Homo-oligomer: A and B are copies of this chain.
Amino acid sequence: MTRDWRRGAAKPGAPAAKPPPVRSPTLRDVAQGAGVHPATASRALNPTTRDLVNEETASRVIQVAESLGYRPNPIARSLKTARSATVGLVLPDLTNPLFPPIVRGIEDILGPAGYNAWIVNTDNDPKREESQIQSLRSRHVEGLIIATARLEHPLLEQLHAHGVPMVLVNRRMATSDIASVTADDATGIATAVRHLVDLGHRRIAHLAGPQDTSTGRVRRRAFSQALRDHGLQDDPALVAECDYWTEGEGARAFRALLDRGSPFSAVIAGNDLLALGSYDVITERGLSCPRDISVVGYNDMPFIDKFRPPLTSLRVPHYEVGAESARLLLETLGTPNRHPRSVLLPVSLVVRQSTGPPDRPAVPRRGRSAHGS
Contact with B along A299-313 (1 / 0, CB 8 A): 000110011111000
Task: Using C-beta atoms within 8 Å of the partner chain, give the interface range for chain A.
Answer: 35 or more
B276-A73 in contact (CB<8A):
no
A33 CB within 8 Å of chain B:
no
Contact with B along A54-90 (1 / 0, CB 8 A): 0000000000000000011111101101111000000
Question: What is the CA–CA distance of A71 and B76 in the complex, to the nearest angstrom?
Answer: 19
A75-B71 in contact (CB<8A):
no
Q: Report the stretch among A39-47, A132-140, A185-193, A232-240 that lies at the interface.
A: A132-140
Question: What is the CA–CA distance of A73 and B119 in the complex, to the nearest angstrom?
Answer: 19
Cβ contact of A6, chosen from B135, B137, B308, cutoff 8 A? B137
A104-B100 in contact (CB<8A):
no
Instruction: Specify the main secondary structure of chain A where it touches its partner.
Output: loop
Cβ contact of A100, chosen from B4, B6, B81, B100, cutoff 8 A? B100
A94-B83 in contact (CB<8A):
no
- With A76-B79, A308-B308 already in contact, the answer to whether A101 and B107 are too (CB < 8 A) is no
Contact with B along A192-212 (1 / 0, CB 8 A): 000000000000000000000
Apart from A3-B165, A5-B165, A308-B310, 14 more pairs, CB < 8 Å: A2-B81, A4-B83, A9-B163, A72-B138, A73-B79, A75-B84, A75-B140, A94-B94, A95-B302, A97-B302, A107-B121, A276-B303, A303-B303, A307-B307
